[in-house]
Amino acid sequence: MDNCLFCKIIAGEIPSTKVYEDDKVYAFRDIHPQAPVHVLIVPRKHMDNILECDADTATALTDAIRAIAAQEGVAESGFRVISNCGRDGAQSVNHLHVHLLGGTQLAEKMA
Ligand code: DGP
C-alpha cells in the first residue's frame, strides 16, 4: 500500500533490523525498544489492524511469535505480545503489527 511505513520496511525501501521472515510474515526490531527484546511482527499483506486479520494471517503471526520467542531466548522466561488498535489503542502505524516484548520482568499492569 502506498505511503505505508511498514509496507516500505517489508519491501526493503526503508532499512530495518530483520529478526525473522517467512512467506507471510516479516519481523524486525522496534526503533524505540521498550524492553531488551522488542520485536515488531508484521504480515506482508497490508491490513490496517487486527480487526482485518484473517485466519491464515493469525496462524502465521502465532507461528512467528513461537519461532521468535525461541530465537530470542525468551520462550522459557516469558514475554508479552500486544497489538495496539485504533485511536484509543494508541496505534501509531496503521499496518497490523504485534509487539513482542521480553528479556526483563515487565510491569504487572500495562498502564
Ligand atoms: P504502535 O504504537 O503500536 O503503532 O507501534 C508502532 C511502533 O513502530 C513503535 O513502537 C515504533 C515503531 N516504529 C516506528 N517507525 C519505525 C521505523 O521506521 N523502524 C522501526 N524499526 N520501528 C519503527
Q: Is 99 a catalytic residue?
A: no
| Residue 21 phi, psi (nearest 5) | -155, 150
Q: Going from the N-terminus, what domains does the chain have, and what CATH number goes with each? A: 5-102 (3.30.428.10)
Q: Which of 89, 103, 34, 15 is nearest to 26 (CA)?
A: 15
87 lines ligand 1 (CB under 6 A): no
User: Residue 7 carries which side chain, given as an amino acid letter?
Assistant: C
Q: What is the pLDDT of residue 2?
A: 81
**54: Cβ contacts below 8 Å, ≥ 6 apart:** 47
More confident residue, 1 or 111: 1
**Is the pTM here over 0.85, yes or no?**
yes
Query: What is the mean pLDDT of the segment spanning 1-24?
Result: 96
pLDDT recorded at residue 111: 58
| Residue 15 clears pLDDT 90, i.e. is over it | yes
Read off the pLDDT of residues 29-74 as tens digits, 9 standing for 90 and up. 999 999 999 999 999 999 999 999 999 999 999 999 999 999 999 9
Confidence of residue 109 (pLDDT cuts 50, 70, 90): confident
* pLDDT at res. 90: 97
| Distance from residue 67's CA to the centre of ligand 1 (Å) | 21
- What is the C-alpha to C-alpha distance for residues 97 and 62, in angstroms, rounded to an integer? 12
* C-beta separation of 41 from 65 below 8 A: yes
- Joined together, the cell numbers standing for residue 98 give 504485534
Q: The cell 511498514 sits on which residue?
A: 6
